[in-house]
Amino acid sequence: MTEADSEIIKSEMLKAYVWLQTSDDSIQQVEQEVAMFCPFICQEIHSGMGSSKNYPISLPSRVNPPMLSLILDYCRFHQVPGRSNKERKSFDEKFVRMDTKRLCELTSAADSLQLKPLVDLTSRALARVIEGKTPEEIREIFHLPDDLTEEEKLEPIKNTMDDPRIRLLNRLYARKRKELKERERLQDAEIEEERSDERSVDDLLSFINGSGEDSKGTRNSKNKKKNRKRKDQHKTAPSNCISTSNGSSSRNADMDNKESYEHNSLSGNSTVHRNLLTNLRYTTKLQGVENDRFSPEDEFDDCDLEDDIDPALKEKIDREVEDFARRLNSDWPERMQEILSLGQERRPLQSTINGNGSLRKLTSLDQRQK
Amino acid sequence: MEDDSELDLISELPQSIIEAILAKLPLRDAVRTSILSTRWRYKWASLTHIMFDDRSASHFNDRIVVQDGIVNFITRFLFLHDGPIHKFSLSSSFLQSSPDIDQWLLFLSRKDVKELILELGEGEWFRAPSCVFSCKKLTRLELVRCELDPPPNFKGFLCLKHLSLQQVLIPPDDIEYLISNCPLLESLTLSYFDSLELTVCAPNLKYLILEGEFKDLCLENTPLLVAISVAMYMTDDIAEHFEHSSSCNFDKFLGGVPKLERLIGHIYFTKYLSIGNNQKRSPITYHHLRFIELYQVSFDDMKEVLVVLQLIVNSPNLQELQISGSSNTSATVGAPDLEFWDENFSIDCTLHRLKKVKLTDVSGVEHEMKFIQFLLENSPVLEVMSITPSLYLTDGRLNMLIDLASFRRASSRAKIIFIQEPV
């Protein structure tokens, strides 16, 4: 009898089984060495359970029979010591090819059994599902309710540097000004009731520009922000146009000048100053709205001249500007009023009437903490 | 539960899993989840492992744009973050030294960060601010392209287990001080150091990786060392320095590592060890050494061959051996001393556990063939010996094969595989 033969016989003799009970009360018999791969089951065995059919190990409720069989497949493969890393990796890759719903269930089940390698594997797979997708796509995949208000959707952090969006924002603002002017002239214009744009001052203050491939509204509103900064900067820094980063408006033209200047000179000295300015910029962003220093037509022309976006993108941007402008139309004058009167303070609850006639309440910052 | 059901699939998962998923996303995508739904609004803000890399950077042609964007993003991120931060890893080729980074590090030092990884772009090296040295809870520190200047009152990182310094400018005394004052240090990696004379005192050290131009290497107090990987570059000064050195490098380096399991030596490592080496038997036996991998072993130089033999003979449990020869066949100094081999064959040097041998860049010089013969005769459980001839050896291959075929083999299961094409 060779060494190999006697080993096989030994393992056969020692093969023990444990009994596992799933959430639906069905009981399964599983080889002990496979089941022991799960720490939870290991613990239960050591405390005496699972050795017979009458005393099965009751698995946590998140483990239903299909998940259990998947988990056992995983354990059965990986508990064999002789496999190479390559083999294991390739098994893992094939193993996680399943629909997202099952992935989520599997993650949950593996977590309740404390099977960390499988949790890592499935969460990596879920991360890959999420990565690079737009919020709508993600919501669809995971059936998430789209229950954030417009204001809440303004993401707190974004990368600032999207030049095309700066220009987009410029245009938006320019057009908006035009319309505003016109509307003021026709003072008896009826307020269109479209979707209200409930945006608290704080949120607007706190988000970073640049927009993602997210909802149009988000994108456009961000562009609006960018627009403001770019426009002001453009006027005050004649020599350097594409000052890309956070050159934005501030209260005085002087500060603006100084800021743009310093910003454009790659400084080591003015970093403190620059940091201060960064903070200031964001707080005074909206103040800039009221600065009616520029005539829309100028802005428009200037913008176009400096554009070097390719025509296709331009068209797309134009279309989106239209959309956004439409959306803004409804209560722009009202909002302007509020912004002007409230300044940087927290906005109290505000109710507006949207197109459907139902009352929608703006949430204050407090309510948003969920 | 069908797919069309309205049931939320993912938000029910426990926070730890959601964090695990978010941590595996590029940081920008993780933050974007804040607009998915109300429950997801601040899930990203409690991430404890923060890893920023170029996947989260926007790509524009203007480098300054990108850099400012990154700086802005991270500043805001840290500001809006809520909760403890255990790991902060920043690895971006766009980011250069900037005062903002100092501020981030100050912020992190106050948050008791445990793992800090910093890798900035090429260009002016980042000078680590002193707040880095006040991160008391650090267990892992990895720095690339930095200048480190420990303050005078620096007492060491008392919790540090993993230290990796690559292309780091640090005064030579300070590096030794740093190592010896991290009592829990288990893993040390030093790369691209110039002309360093290093003495390592690290009683808990298990893994050591060294790469660079070292004038002198001494493992003074490293009894628990399990794996060593060394790549020694040689410059002319260092070569000269070696000429005049009198101490035995082998003993200095491998004299105090009884628990060694893996040894990997690149480039001039064997040459380094050969300097000053006179004995045939080293003072200690490496009972746990199972895996030896040596590159650029010049079989023309008998001293290097001696080093290799010494290692092998003192490792009774050696299982796998990989040796890559050195192709620069400089003119042999005199005829090779083959008597030395006859002496060696008479001693009992059975390698009871050696199963796998891989020899590459074999140029077929005398010493090399004798070495192969030695291995074959002394390895009773050898299973595979694969030989890949050097690319420069064209005519001598047949002779090599003839010699190989004639060698006695102690193992009946030994297979000799001669690999013609480069792998």
* Stretch B200-205: mean pLDDT: 91
How does residue B17 score in pLDDT terms, banded at 50, 70 and 90? confident
Residues in chain A closer than 8 A to B68 (CB atoms): 160-161, 244-246
ipTM of the complex, rounded to two decimals: 0.71
Of residues A49 and B356, the one with the higher pLDDT is B356
Minimal CA–CA distance to B145: which of B128, B130, B167, B160? Answer: B167
Among all residues of chain B, which has the CA nearest to that of A147? Answer: B37
Q: Does the distance separating the beta carbons of A160 and B33 come in below 8 Å?
A: no
Q: What is the pLDDT of residue B6?
A: 53
From the CA of B53, how many Å to the nearest CA of chain A?
A: 13
Residue-level pLDDT at A187: 67
**Which chain B residue has its CA at the smallest distance from A132's CA?**
B29
| Cα–Cα distances in angstroms (integers) from residue A365 to residues A258, A268, A347, A369, in the given order | 34, 37, 8, 7
A245 and B22: CB-CB below 8 Å? no
Q: Which residues lie across from B126 on neighbouring strands?
A: B146
Flag whether pLDDT at B261 surpasses 60: yes
Of A102-111, B99-108, B303-312, B344-353, the poorest mean pLDDT is in: B344-353
Could you report the per-residue pLDDT of A225-258, keeping only the tens digit for each?
444 444 444 444 433 433 333 333 333 334 444 4
Residues B233-255, mean pLDDT to the nearest whole number: 77
B49 vs A: CB within 8 A: no
Which segment of A240-244, B115-119, B129-133 scores lowest on mean pLDDT?
A240-244
pTM of the predicted protein model: 0.66
Residues A144, B37: C-beta atoms closer than 8 Å: yes
Please tell me which of the candidates A100, A131, A160 has its beta carbon nearest to residue B25. Answer: A131
**How distant is the Cα of B17 from the closest Cα of chain A, in angstroms?**
7
Query: What was the pLDDT predicted at A28?
Result: 83
Mean pLDDT of chain B: 85
Quote the minimal CA–CA distance from A222 to chain B in Å: 14
Judged by CB atoms closer than 8 Å, whether chains meet at A159 and B24 is answered as no
Nearest-Cα distance to chain A for B301, in Å, is 38
A340 versus B373: the higher-pLDDT residue is B373
Of the listed ranges A341-350, B17-26, B150-159, B402-411, the one predicted with least confidence: A341-350
Which residues does chain A have within 8 Å of residue B17's beta carbon, measured at their own beta carbons? Answer: 107-108, 111, 119, 123
pLDDT at B279: 64
Gap between the Cα atoms of B57 and B78, Å rounded: 16
What is the band of B163 on the pLDDT scale with cuts at 50, 70, 90?
very high
Q: Looking at the complex, does the CB of residue B110 fall below 8 Å from at least one CB of chain A? A: no
Pick the range with the lowest mean pLDDT from A101-115, A154-168, A271-285, B286-300.
A271-285
Q: Sorting pLDDT into bands at 50, 70 and 90, what band is B69?
A: confident
Q: Is B20 on the interface with A (CB under 8 A)?
A: yes
Measured between CB atoms, which of B3, B29, B39 is closest to A131? B29
* Minimal C-alpha gap between B55 and chain A (Å): 10
CB contact under 8 A, A147 and B38: yes
Are the Cβ atoms of A108 and B7 closer than 8 angstroms? no
**Pairing assessment for the beta strands A27-31 and A17-21 based on DSSP bridges:** antiparallel
Residue A76, pLDDT above cutoff 80: yes
Q: Which chain B residues are closer than 8 Å to A107 by Cβ? A: 13, 17
For chain A, say whether B168 makes contact (Cβ under 8 Å): no
pLDDT above 60 for B165? yes
Cα angle value A191/A194/A197 (rounded, 5°): 100
Tell me the per-residue pLDDT of B365-418, one tens digit each, with 9 for 90 and over: 888 888 998 899 888 999 999 999 888 777 888 888 888 889 988 888 889 998
Verify whether the Cβ–Cβ distance B73 to A132 is below 8 Å: no
- Compute the nearest-CA separation of A299 from chain B (Å): 23
What's the rounded mean pLDDT across residues B18-35? 87
Is it the case that residue A305 has pLDDT exceeding 80?
Answer: no
User: Inter-chain contact B34–A132, Cβ cutoff 8 Å?
Assistant: no
Chain B residues close to A23, C-beta within 8 Å: none
B22 in reach of chain A (CB within 8 A) = yes
- Nearest residue, CB atoms, A143 vs list B8, B13, B68: B8
**Confidence band (pLDDT; 50, 70, 90) for B86?**
very high
Q: SS3 letters for chain B?
A: CCCCCCCCCCCCCCHHHHHHHHHCCCHHHHHHHHHCCHHHCCCHHHCCEEEEEHHHCCCCCCHHHHHHHHHHHHHHHHHHCCCCCCEEEEECCCCCCCHHHHHHHHHHHHCCCCEEEEECCCCCCEECCHHHHHCCCCCEEEEEEEECCCCCCCCCCCCCCEEEEEEEECCHHHHHHHHHCCCCCCEEEEEEEEEEEEEEECCCCCEEEEEEEEEEEEEEECCCCCEEEEEECCCHHHHHHHHHCCCCHHHHHHCCCCCCCEEEEEECHHHHHHCCCCCCCCCCCCCCCCEEEEEEECCCCHHHHHHHHHHHHCCCCCCEEEEEECCCCCCCCCCCCCHHHHHHHHCCCCCCCCCEEEEEEECCCHHHHHHHHHHHHCCCCCCEEEEEECCCCCCCHHHHHHHHHHCCCCCCCCEEEECCCCC
Determine the distance in angstroms separating the CA of B13 from the nearest CA of chain A, rounded to an integer.
6
**Residue where the block lists tokens 């001598």:** B396
pLDDT for the residue numbered A269: 44
Q: SS3 sequence, chain A?
A: CCHHHHHHHHHHHHCCEEEEECCCCCEEEEEHHHHCCCHHHHHHHHCCCCCCCCCCEECCCCCCHHHHHHHHHHHHHHCCCCCCHHHHHHHHHHHCCCCHHHHHHHHHHHHHCCCHHHHHHHHHHHHHHHCCCCHHHHHHHHCCCCCCCHHHHCCCCCCCCCHHHHHHHHHHHHHHHHHHHHHHHCCCCCCCCCCCCCCCHHHHHHCCCCCCCCCHHHHHHHHHHHHHHHHHHHHHCCCCCCCCCCCCCCCCHHHHHHHHHHHHCCCCCCHHHHHHHHHHHHHCCCHHHHCCCCCHHHHHHHHHHHCCCCHHHHHHHHHHHHHHHHHHHCCHHHHHHHHHHHCCCCCCCCEEECCCCCEEECCCHHHHCC
CB distance from B64 to chain A under 8 Å?
yes
Buried b (16+ CB within 10 A) or exposed e, B134-166: ebeebbbbbbbbbebebeeebebbebbbbbbbb
> According to the model, what pLDDT value does residue B159 have?
93
**How many Å is the Cα radius of gyration of chain B?**
27
Share of chain B above pLDDT 90, in %: 29
Q: What is the mean pLDDT of chain A?
A: 64
Which residues in chain B (67-106) have CB-CB distances under 8 A to chain A?
Answer: 68-70, 72-73, 75-77, 80, 99-100, 103
Using pLDDT thresholds of 50, 70 and 90, give the confidence band for residue A152.
low
User: Does pLDDT of A276 surpass 80?
Assistant: no
Q: Which of A15-19, A83-87, A350-354, B56-60 has the lowest mean pLDDT?
A: A350-354
**Closest CB from A108, A159, A214 relative to B73:** A159
Q: Is the pLDDT of residue B162 over 90?
A: yes
Rounded to the nearest angstrom, the minimum Cα separation between A259 and chain B is 15
* Chain B residues close to A368, C-beta within 8 Å: 41
Partner residue facing B76 (CB), from A144, A208, A275: A208
Q: What pLDDT was estimated at residue A306?
A: 43
Taking contacts as CB-CB distances below 8 angstroms, the residues of chain A near B104 are none
pLDDT of res. A281: 46
Local confidence band at A211 (pLDDT 50, 70, 90 cut-offs): very low
Contacts of A148 in chain B (CB under 8 A): 35-38, 41
CB contact under 8 A, B9 and A132: no
